[in-house]
Amino acid sequence: MKKNLILFILSLVMLVFNSCQTSQKQKTIKLAHGLDMSHPVHKAMQLMGEELEKNSKGKLKLEIYPNQQLGSERQCLELLQIGSLDMTKVSAAVMENFSPDMKVFGLPFLFRDRKHTFNVLDGDIGRELLDGGKKYWLKGLGYYDAGSRSFYTKEKSVVSPKDLEGLKIRVMESVTAMNMVSSLGGSPTPISSGELYTALQQGVVDGAENNPPTFYLSRHYEVCKFFSLNEHTTIPDVLIISTHLWERLSKEEQNWLQTAVDASVIYQRKLWAESESEALEAVKKAGVKVVRPDKSLFKKKVEPIYESYRDNESIYSLIKRIQESE
């Protein structure tokens, strides 16, 4: 009896010791984002977590906080800068406030098609821009597909820039986005994504601009019954890690994480393509009028925006490089 008790105590001590050893060895990376758990971005992050644990044999773990649990995109970036959060996903349009060269992605009609977009993002230009925020304690790890942004409104379809005149259009906290809406005749109104549904309901804004899946999953189609696929901008989402964490990781740990990110990027882009067509069908069934206006009418109105960057050597060089790339 006494012998069994001693063995039990020894087993318990070993169990606690092993548990402590495991917890000491395992590092948890906290990742926050503002989207719904059914969104392709969240599903891709879940895969990232699975890949990370597999690559590291359990030494690295991803803990995900969706639905703006830890704040807006801007607030999450600020948390990364002070080291209170490890990773986040933000639109490149929000990132431009922290890494100025990212504003190039917000320029309207910059990319010719989806193939051109991915070639730029996954090539030298994309990698340069991912590293551009390091001096602000923000390092990019990869780009998720966020499709193309288009206008949706409450009262009428936007088939030409004239239809935007007098309308208050919600935009992200992005100077580039505000300049674009202004050049098209609308009145840009920055509002956080979490407050937009109510703002549309109450008439604070007359419409907004975003991609089909977000339009659907945010349920903005319940308020806005007109969706105009002019696809004015193709702004990627960016996975960002705090340099406070990145520089504490060993080269091996950095490799485990980057490999998991790369796998999630491939998966997210696949899910995104599927979700775009599903979202468009769903909003049509819900009574939304979807139109495809003549893009040339919008392109002509925003041409001056490109010339406004002629004196900004860094941005103007990026514009030319992107336009000339395959």
Q: What is the CATH number of the domain that holds 299?
A: 3.40.190.170
The residue segments making up the domain with residue 34 are 27-145+235-277
pTM: 0.82
Q: Does some domain include residue 22?
A: no
Q: Looking at residue 24, what is its pLDDT?
A: 52
Joined together, the tokens standing for residue 55 give: 């690559």
Q: Looking at residue 62, what is its pLDDT?
A: 98
Confidence of residue 84 (pLDDT cuts 50, 70, 90): very high
Q: Are residues 167 and 267 in the same domain?
A: no
pLDDT mean over 189-204: 94
How many CA atoms lie less than 13 Å away from 198 in the CB half-sphere?
5
Neighbours of 308 (CB within 10 A): 12
Q: Does some domain include residue 7?
A: no
Q: Does some domain include residue 247?
A: yes
Alpha-carbon distance of 240 to 159, in angstroms, equals: 36
Q: Are residues 136 and 251 in the same domain?
A: yes
Q: Are residues 91 and 191 in the same domain?
A: no
More confident residue, 96 or 41: 41
Q: Are residues 293 and 251 in the same domain?
A: no
Joined together, the tokens standing for residue 311 give: 């004196």
The DSSP H or E segment spanning 131 is helix 124-131
Confidence of residue 11 (pLDDT cuts 50, 70, 90): very low
CA distances from 72 to 77, 94, 159 (A): 9, 10, 32
pLDDT mean over 8-28: 49
Q: Are residues 217 and 73 in the same domain?
A: no
Which three-class secondary structure state does DSSP give residue 203? coil
Q: Does some domain include residue 6?
A: no
Q: Does some domain include residue 2?
A: no
Q: Are residues 79 and 193 in the same domain?
A: no
CB 76 within 8 A of CB 88: yes
pLDDT mean over 51-57: 97
Q: Does some domain include residue 15?
A: no
**287-311 per-position pLDDT tens digit:** 999 999 999 999 999 989 998 899 9
In residues, how long is the chain?
326
* H-helix segments, 218-312: 243-246, 251-285, 295-307
Alpha-carbon distance of 246 to 255, in angstroms, equals: 11
Q: Does some domain include residue 16?
A: no
pLDDT mean over 182-199: 94
Q: Are residues 47 and 169 in the same domain?
A: no
Q: Are residues 217 and 182 in the same domain?
A: yes
Q: Does some domain include residue 246?
A: yes
> How many domains, the chain?
2
CB 229 within 8 A of CB 245: no
Q: Looking at residue 87, what is its pLDDT?
A: 98
Closest-CA residue to 202 (of 154, 167, 151): 154
The DSSP H or E segment spanning 199 is helix 193-201
Neighbours of 300 (CB within 10 A): 10
Confidence of residue 36 (pLDDT cuts 50, 70, 90): confident
Q: Are residues 172 and 228 in the same domain?
A: yes
Q: Are residues 169 and 34 in the same domain?
A: no
Which three-class secondary structure state does DSSP give residue 189? strand
Q: Looking at residue 194, what is its pLDDT?
A: 85
Beta-strand runs (E) in the chain:
27-32, 60-65, 87-91, 138-144, 149-153, 168-171, 187-190, 207-210, 226-233, 237-242, 289-291
Q: Are residues 171 and 285 in the same domain?
A: yes
Q: Are residues 35 and 169 in the same domain?
A: no
